Amino acid sequence: MLLSKIRNFVTESVIPSYCYGCKKESTYLCEDCFEIINSFSKSICPHCKQALAFGKLPNTCRRELYLDRIFSCADYKDVRIKNLIKDLKYNYSFALAKPLAEFGYWWLQKNEYADEIKNNIGLIIPIPLHKTKLKKRGFNHAEHLAKHLGVLLDIPVANNLLTKNRRTIPQIETETKEQRQENLKNAFSTIGTPGVPIVSTNVLLIDDVLTTGSTLRECAKVLRKNGVKEVWALTIAQD
């Protein structure tokens, strides 16, 4: 934890930032490069692969994923986005969460999704990490993305409502949908009291990358069980 704090302090204050896109000395992703990132105007449903108008999932997919809307900004294959996310997570640079969140907000505004979110969502919740992973990494990257997005969208963020109870194997190492769901089964819980809705507002889940949607699904399922009416999701990239 301390090491990652020192590292981030050094990164932010001493080493100049170079744009992952154009290499210009500025921020880690400059606004000019937002335009050239391979981004989607409509996100793709991870269940039926349809392009989603205003992120709205068809009824069958809503029932399957427990999510009402999904917004995924960019193609994970875009090397600039991929490297930013990888360095955020594996090189312990939480300073990279800010430009990624700024890019996400820019994308939401560009596609006229930002107001939709502001008008419908009262709380942002990042996907939690298990405590052993949190200890190893020193921070939760999704929390940092959520913090910056919360400021930009002017929506409060709750980091402690959802918890990850046990370690799971990376979803990428699972082969079938059944394995993925089994791997994540009961992996998340809320601090709520049974039968009492934890919040009286719709919730926006935040994560870095959307792949199969299994993690978002498990979190949404728990929130739904605890009285949340609508669960939306925002990820910076989709793979």
Q: Which is nearer to Zn ion, 30 or 95 (CB)?
A: 30
Pairing mode, strands 162-164 and 188-190: antiparallel
Q: Which of 8, 39, 55, 61 binds Zn ion (CB under 5 A)?
A: 61
In 3D, which of 119, 116, 95 has the Cα closest to residue 15?
95
Q: Which is nearer to Zn ion, 27 or 120 (CB)?
A: 27
Read off the tokens for 65.
């994923």
Distance CA 225, CA 123 (A): 17
Find tokens 């210009």 and name the residue. Answer: 24
Q: Which is nearer to Zn ion, 49 or 178 (CB)?
A: 49
Binding window for Zn ion (CB under 5 A); candidates: 47-55, 102-110, 158-166, 180-188: 47-55
Binding window for Zn ion (CB under 5 A); candidates: 28-36, 108-116, 158-166, 206-214: 28-36
Do 138 and 5 form a contact (C-beta atoms < 8 A)? yes
| Under rule CB under 5 A, residue 100 binds Zn ion | no
Q: Which of 6, 10, 22, 36 binds Zn ion (CB under 5 A)?
A: 22
Amino acid identity for residue 131 in this structure:
K
Q: How far is CA 58 from the centre of its chain?
A: 21
What are the residues binding Zn ion (CB under 5 A)? 19, 21-22, 30, 33, 45, 47-48, 61
